[in-house]
Amino acid sequence: MVRDAVPGDIDEICALIEEHARYEGNDELKLDRAEMARHLFGPDPKAWVLMAEHGGEVAGMAFCSWSFSTWEARPGIWLDDIFVRPAYRRHGLGRELLHELRARTTGRIEWDMQEGNERAAAFYAQLGARPVPGWIRYRWRPDAP
């Protein structure tokens, strides 16, 4: 089952992000729950989350924000993070999360994938998603000179 996150989910949301970071090799990440709650559920939310449940337990999530394509003249979704806990994989939850996103926009849904993640690439290809040729992602951090 997929549902919209509510304020009471903040601990699970942060725990899922931290678990994903550890899964990807970052053992240092520890999120400030109050700050994340303000960004997700405060008076001016910056992102939103879909929660995936299996057997009444939180199994995964999709962390998203709205984007806008000037060339398509319509909103889309930026999928910043999708994670399903290993014990709940192969139950269709990742597919369910992505299909729910597809149902929420007529625009494009975009995300990054770490190079070399062949299982994820195969999964995304099954959905019909393709890499964007000719584009390189840039990141400008506030501490840059």
pLDDT tens, residue by residue, 92-117: 999 999 999 999 999 999 999 888 88
Number of folded domains in the chain?
1
pLDDT band, very low/low/confident/very high, at 136 (cuts 50, 70, 90): confident
pTM for this model (two decimals): 0.90
Tokens of 130: 């393709």
Residues 6+ apart with CB under 8 A from 76: 66, 67, 68, 69, 105, 107, 108, 109, 110
Residue 137 lies in a domain: no
Q: How far apart are the first and last CA of the chain?
A: 45
- CATH number for the domain harbouring residue 108: 3.40.630.30
Residue 109 lies in a domain: yes
Residues 62-72: pLDDT tens digits? 999 999 999 99
Alpha-carbon gap, residue 74 to 112, rounded angstroms: 20
Which residues carry out catalysis? 124
Domain hosting 34: range is 2-127
* Residues facing residue 110 across a β-bridge: 78
Q: Which of 41, 36, 34, 32 is nearest to 5 (CA)?
A: 41
Reported as type and span, the H/E element at residue 76 is strand 74-84
> Is residue 145 over pLDDT 80?
no
Alpha-carbon gap, residue 137 to 95, rounded angstroms: 25
